[in-house]
Amino acid sequence: MIRGTEPVRRRIDLDRVEALRLLGSVPLGRIVFTRQALPTVRPVSHVLDDGDIVIRTHEGAALTAHARHDEGQGVVVAYEADAIDPVTRLGWSVVVTGYARLVTAPGELARIRALLEPLAPHPGRDDAVRIRPELVTGVLLTEAGRHRDRPGRSRLPSGDHS
């Protein structure tokens, strides 16, 4: 793009329902958790299941080990997914903060394995982690004057429009 011809962009905050709908429209995201007292980010595949974000991980993964040792309400994590065009810089981004718990029930784990393929296969046993969203934020990055059907209602792109 020639400088000065870029579209005028605006940011629209999304409500919880629309943010989770968009997150569920894409298969990949990034999990953020603490490892050795520092933030760690990993790309993962996910699925929305009964309002929760579920990811597959493997037995030796740092997040799996961290979640296994927590017997309280879970491990605090952040999860981010987006569909932003690298050229136009238009699209959306959603960030969820919540508690991650290891899925341990054999029936539930089998069901999740059937729903969700891991990002990369790993030798050995794989596990699943369920993230209960506590704080959900999302933004739509759009051209000024676009994606408005009527006041207060946005037409948002799904994950297929990245």
Domain membership flag for residue 154: no
Query: Can you give the pLDDT at residue 161?
Result: 42
Number of domains in the chain: 1
> 77 near 40, Cβ under 8 Å?
no
What local confidence, expressed as pLDDT, does residue 151 receive?
33
**32 inside domain:** yes
Q: Is residue 157 part of a domain?
A: no
The CATH number of residue 63's host domain is: 2.30.110.10
Does 134 fall in a domain?
yes
The H or E element that residue 104 is part of is none
Q: Which domain holds residue 103?
A: 9-147
Total-model pTM = 0.79
The answer to whether position 153 is within a domain reads no
152 pLDDT tier (thresholds 50, 70, 90): very low
Residues paired with residue 150 on neighbouring β-strands, in sequence order? 153
90 lies in some domain: yes
pLDDT digits (tens, 9 = 90+) for 58-110: 544 556 555 555 566 788 999 999 999 999 999 999 999 999 998 889 999 89
Measured distance CA(85)–CA(129) in Å, rounded: 29
Torsions phi, psi for 5 (to 5 deg): -105, 5
Taking the C-alpha atoms of residue 14 and residue 77, their distance in angstroms, rounded to an integer, is 21
Residue 159 is assigned to a structural domain of this protein = no
Whether the CB-CB separation of 5 and 87 falls below 8 Å is answered with no
